[in-house]
Amino acid sequence: MSRHRIGALGIAAWLALGGAARAETKFTLETMPRIDVHTHIGNTWETLDEVMELRKAIREQLHADLAMFISLGRAEPPDMDELRKRYQGRIQWCISDFTIKDGLRFSPQELTEWQKRGVMGFKFYPGWDRGVQIDLPANDPTFDRMEQIGMVAASPHVANPCGTFGRRTEWFAEPVEFWRQQHAWENVLKKHPRLVVVNAHMLWLCYSDEQLDYLRYMLKTYPNLNVDLATVPIFLHAVGRDNLRAFMIEYADRILFGTDLASKWFVPELDKKFPKIKDKVPQYQRYFEFLETAKEMPSGIKDEHKMRGLALPLDVLEKIYFRNAMRIYPHIADTLKQLGYFGKVESKKAAGE
């Protein structure tokens, strides 16, 4: 609907129509909710309180609203009712399997039970060089159930970064293993087309322009595939900036903000200076500046590479920071509404303010 039509109809009538809140809610960089979909926060109340302290520090120092954190484990979920009560949904949880052996850790029945208890999704990690084959038939019943009940594959980590740029360490998988893991994962996506996935780390297809092309192919081919941005800034210096920026805009509906908070791969060079969760404001600042500004900054591995921020448009940032997460995961849209991110704006407008 065009702005013209809105004028003719009157704002109250227009608000009664579906989708009005979305179009009319105006966010700025300061007011928009940001959701970190990829963290590894521990499960003690002390640690979780510290995350809320971090949230407050980010508001005060960066004028940014980190509205919600999704913890992917490894820590087991805390008491889910108590978690909701203490943090009003600002901290969400996923179940996880970091040591896949003879099939995934949760049976179909267990997945359903965990979903009822309110977990967001299931994180699994076949990507370590352990010879784990994610497309083994033993995993199919779990994937079938995830499709049936709509449980999100939350930041599964497939393969490790692979490239010939920069330092080569044990972290980088050799290419044959890297592509074997990539193809095994593609087999899963082919076999389970209704499985909704937010792959971690841009699927690690972000370490050269050619890999980014392959990620384009994957996103085009599998409409339920999405990716998060956790840890990727430390590798993106190897991709052409214009190409990367064009990619982010073209696939803005499929990219979600995530950081790897509390893992040692968040922003390695800064994590040494700011090891405590409540002090990790500069790490978030690095992510925000990379997405929002055109500043030159270190890439984050021993300061050996420079990169320039992407200065993405506001509508793209909204999608990456929260709109895609609202669409893809359960609970998020309701929680944000309950926290007043949309309700207040709507009621003000209804009152004619």
Pair of tokens at residue 275:
């090891």
Residue 266 or 341 with smaller CB distance to Zn ion = 266
Q: Tell me the window of 107-115, 183-191, 259-267, 289-297 that interacts with Zn ion (CB under 5 A).
A: 259-267
Q: Tell me the window of 16-24, 49-57, 218-226, 254-262 that interacts with Zn ion (CB under 5 A).
A: 254-262
Residue 97 or 260 with smaller CB distance to Zn ion = 260
Residue 135 or 260 with smaller CB distance to Zn ion = 260
Whole-angstrom Cα distance, residue 11 to residue 244? 39
Residue 29 or 132 with smaller CB distance to Zn ion = 132
Q: How many residues bind Zn ion (CB under 5 A)?
A: 1
Whole-angstrom Cα distance, residue 108 to residue 15? 42
Q: Tell me the window of 105-113, 135-143, 218-226, 256-264 that interacts with Zn ion (CB under 5 A).
A: 256-264
Regarding 36 and contact with Zn ion (CB under 5 A), the answer is no
Lay out the site mask for Zn ion across 164-203 (x = CB under 5 A, - = otherwise). ----------------------------------------
Helix axes 140-149, 175-191, angle to 10 degrees: 50
Residue 50 or 260 with smaller CB distance to Zn ion = 260
Strand order, beta sheet including 91-93: 33-39, 65-71, 91-93
Map residue 28 onto helix, strand or coil: coil
Provide, rounded to whole angstroms, the least separation between the CB of residue 280 and Zn ion: 15
Listed in sequence order, the residues at least 6 apart from 51 whose beta carbon sits closer than 8 Å to its beta carbon are: 41, 69, 91, 277, 278
Map residue 251 onto helix, strand or coil: coil
Task: To the nearest 10°, report the CA torsion of 330, 284, 281, 345.
Answer: -50
Residue 71 or 324 with smaller CB distance to Zn ion = 71
Residue 32 or 236 with smaller CB distance to Zn ion = 236
Provide, rounded to whole angstroms, the least separation between the CB of residue 70 and Zn ion: 11
Regarding 97 and contact with Zn ion (CB under 5 A), the answer is no
Provide, rounded to whole angstroms, the least separation between the CB of residue 38 and Zn ion: 6
Provide, rounded to whole angstroms, the least separation between the CB of residue 338 and Zn ion: 28
Residue 319 sits at the vertex; the CA angle it makes with 313 and 323, to the nearest 5 degrees, is: 150
Residue 124 or 288 with smaller CB distance to Zn ion = 124
Q: Which residue is nearest to Zn ion (CB)?
A: 260
Looking at residue 300, its amino acid is: G
Q: Tell me the window of 102-110, 125-133, 217-225, 252-260 that interacts with Zn ion (CB under 5 A).
A: 252-260
Provide, rounded to whole angstroms, the least separation between the CB of residue 270 and Zn ion: 16
Instruction: DSSP for 45-98, please give it.
Output: HHHHHHHHHHHHHHHHHH--EEEEEEE--SSPP--HHHHHHHHTTSEEE-EEES
The closest of 150, 139, 144, 221 to 184, measured between CA atoms, is: 139
Residue 70 sits at the vertex; the CA angle it makes with 116 and 254, to the nearest 5 degrees, is: 100
Regarding 228 and contact with Zn ion (CB under 5 A), the answer is no
Regarding 260 and contact with Zn ion (CB under 5 A), the answer is yes
Centre a 10 Å sphere on the Cβ of residue 59 and count the other Cβ atoms it contains: 14
Provide, rounded to whole angstroms, the least separation between the CB of residue 69 and Zn ion: 13
Map residue 116 onto helix, strand or coil: helix
Binding site for Zn ion (CB under 5 A): 260
